[in-house]
Amino acid sequence: MRFPDFDLHDRDVERRLAALPGRPLNFDPDTLGGPGWARDHYRERLPPEQAGPPEPGGSWETAVALSRSYAFADPSLVEARYDPRVPLEQREMLLILHALGARIYVGVRVGSAGTEARIEDGREAQVFFWNYRTLEGHVEAGQRDFEVWKWLDSGEIEFRTHAVSCPADANPIFRLGFRLLGRHKQVEFGRRACTRMALLTEANLSQPDRKTPVNALDGRLLAIYLRDHHALLVVLGELARRIGTSTQPGEQHTFVHDLAGVADEDRACLDAFLGRLDSTPSRARHAAAWTAEKIARLKLNGRLVRPSPLSKVTELEGCRLLLESNRELWTALAHLAFGPPGATERARRAERLLGTAERLRLETLHRAIRQDT
């Protein structure tokens, strides 16, 4: 029984990788899938192609390249180290599992890989496939398969991953940890692998020249970034509605009405995209942002009883700052090629609203300061 290799720092990776050749599997392949083995199946639709064989540089070939490089793995859950010069069919990989701040180093060996025609439910598909099996020292035992399908009759593309696994015969402490945390991590890996494969495939297909492949994505950090902007859109909507209730019909009233609609629409768009990242908006951020907007209303702006003419200026300046943040959000997503379609147009829409907000701000400030005109 081998004690799993773990550390708190990312070091000695090359030494650990070099130690994998010759290490045996930690299970008997003939027993795979018998009593006591858990099974996982996940699938995700990818951008389609025209019917017929895979298109050069199209969705299927892009997904195959991403699969070969293990790009679908979320680095916050697992990282892979391997020699890229070694063909996939002969590859041994050092996986770095992240759990509770520790790094657990485990080895896997590719069992088979290739491309073949398959028939499923009477439909023909071209399938790229590969799998790996766990080596001695891994915290689990079993095999995980990865497949990219193209249905030749419709052009539909799918990514699939299947796993058959059970806890490895490791140190009792690690066996307990696997039972408490491992199953959750397995499910999370499969779900996020599908999400990442779809996002990365879309991002690569959207590259103008496709010369610089997009194969890295930290979904956890991207979700944090989006949740921050989601909270700011809550403030923008609240502020626009606040101005709208005290503004007489006219250009400013129309502006804040449009602004509230844009804030709600962009927030709903982020809601859906966060769902694709297996995340949700932060209630804590929302509460803090909502509270900050309400506290800002207490600013007196030089008047104690009557409304101050400067209040409208301050509110429009707040709208301008939040619109700048919104423009930067969509500009960033368009640059990264990640995110909902139409990011460039959303950035342009925010830019147009910024121009209107600036003009209204200056006009309102002029009226407030030059009250004799």
Identify whether residues 223 and 179 lie together within a single domain. Answer: no
Q: Of 164, 179, 205, which marks where a domain is finished? A: 205
User: Which domain covers residue 125, as residue numbers?
Assistant: 5-205
Identify whether residues 123 and 165 lie together within a single domain. Answer: yes
213 in a structural domain: no
DSSP β-bridge partners for residue 147: 129, 160
Return the SS3 of 296.
helix
Distances (CA, A) of 133 to 23, 347, 365: 12, 46, 69
The least confident of 129-138, 241-250, 292-301, 346-355 is 292-301
Return the SS3 of 170.
coil
Identify whether residues 308 and 256 lie together within a single domain. Answer: yes
Q: What pLDDT is attached to residue 91?
A: 96
Q: Of 140, 171, 205, which marks where a domain is finished? A: 205
pLDDT(18) > 80 = yes
Rounded to two decimals, the pTM is 0.77
User: How far apart, in whole angstroms, are the C-alpha atoms of residue 66 and residue 348?
Assistant: 32
The least confident of 57-71, 102-116, 162-176, 351-365 is 162-176
211 in a structural domain: no
263 in a structural domain: yes
